[in-house]
Amino acid sequence: MIAFVAFSLRRAWLGFWRNAVMSIAATATMVLMLLLLAGFWIVQAGLLAGLEFVEQKVEIVADLHDDARQEDVDDLVVRVRAMPEVDRVTFVSREEALERFRAAREAQGQEDLTRYLETNPLHASIEVGLVDTRDFGLVSERLRGEAAVERVKNIKDLVDRVLTVTDFLRTSGTVVLLVIGFIVLFIIVNTIRLAVVARADEIEVMRLVGASDAFIRWPFVFEGAFMGLLGAVLALAVLGVAADPLNRFMFDFFRVLPIDVAPLARDLVLLVGGAGLGLGVLGSWISVRTYLIR
């Protein structure tokens, strides 16, 4: 068994270098395809984070009765916070509402008209962030039933439209990624097939002298795995070199979006490494199979 593995590995290594042109062409294709896959995957990750960010901006704002008692309001906040659909609850008092209004006016460079007011015209409110924006209607309805709530701003149409757009983008991102994945799969499998077909004579001789299927298959599978890993390492090296300028270029993007770079990089290494190895093995397995089954 050990002899067999050693034999297969040695043959795979020799096979790779004896057909250097084909092997290098296949590896280069592998690198390009993996970069393509990684690129789209990064874009997809950014897209998802962006959509998440947009959806998180959707909040339910419930204005409270001005005469609501503080205990009732506190009680309301506690109960709303306990709802499983709810991510966060912020209480905004009338004074805070006025502060915010003033700050907004000032930011826009407009005159603060509120100082001509004798009383504060704004209501206290609670702002409810949701775990899943799709629960907007449900939670709004519940809040409307609360005694302390005067009214809930109805932005359901807007929320629905936002959701339609984000759902569409999310789905199309996934579809594009899948299509890219299939394209990469077919191109890699076909490239490896070319490399195997170039050695049809060798396989023919092996069959004729009575080599078992395992002895014919495994060297090619190891060779495919080797090509895949080499391709993955090279692709990751390219990504590593490109990471710094890319980061600088996308700095603003990352500053806005709460993307955690470390797990993203880890996933990327797993994706590229796994795809390289898997496609290399799969490609050679399929390609050699044609010669084994008669």
Partner 1 sequence: MTLVAPESPPRPSRPSPRRWFGRRRTIQVPDDALVVLRDVTKRYPNGKLALVDVDLVVPEGDFVFLVGPSGAGKSTIMRLLIRDELATRGQVIVDGRDVARLSRRQIPKVRRTIGIVFQDFKLLPSKTVYENVAFALEVTGTPRKRIRPTVDRVLALVGLTGVVDQYPRQLSGGEQQRTAIARALVHEPKLIIADEPTGNLDPLISWEIIQLLLRINELGVTVLMATHDADVVTSLRRRVVALEEGRIIRDEAGGTYHRED
CB of 286 to partner 1, least distance (A): 18
Strand partners of residue 30: none
Cβ atoms of 49 and 259 within 8 Å: the answer is: yes
d(CA 285, CA 294): 16
Q: Are 260 and 62 in contact (CB under 8 A)?
A: no
Position 247, amino acid: N
Extract long-range pairs of 99-104: CB within 8 Å, 24+ residues apart.
none
* CB of 172 or CB of 212, closer to partner 1: 212
Binding mask 167-206 for partner 1 (x = CB under 8 A): ----------------------------------xx-xxx
For the bound state, the minimum distance from the C-beta of residue 12 to partner 1, rounded and expressed in Å, comes to 13
Q: Which is nearer to partner 1, 1 or 107 (CB)?
A: 1
CB 224 within 8 A of CB 13: no
Torsion sign across C-alpha atoms 220, 226, 231, 232 = positive
The residue from 7, 168, 251, 253 that contacts partner 1 (CB under 8 A) is: 7
Residues in region 12-31 near partner 1 by CB under 8 A? 18
The distance of closest approach from Cβ of residue 215 to partner 1 in the complex, given in angstroms and rounded to an integer, is 5
Min CB(284)–partner 1 separation in Å: 17
Q: Are 96 and 127 in contact (CB under 8 A)?
A: no
8 Å CB contact between 191 and 25: yes
Which residue(s) pair with 254 in the sheet?
none
Should residue 209 be labelled a site residue for partner 1 when binding is judged by CB under 8 A? Answer: yes
Of 133 and 287, which CB lies nearer to partner 1 in the complex structure?
287
Contact flag: residue 215 with partner 1 (CB under 8 A): yes
Closest approach of partner 1 to the CB of residue 230, in Å: 21
Q: Which residues bind partner 1 (CB under 8 A)?
A: 3-4, 7, 18, 201-202, 204-213, 215-216, 294
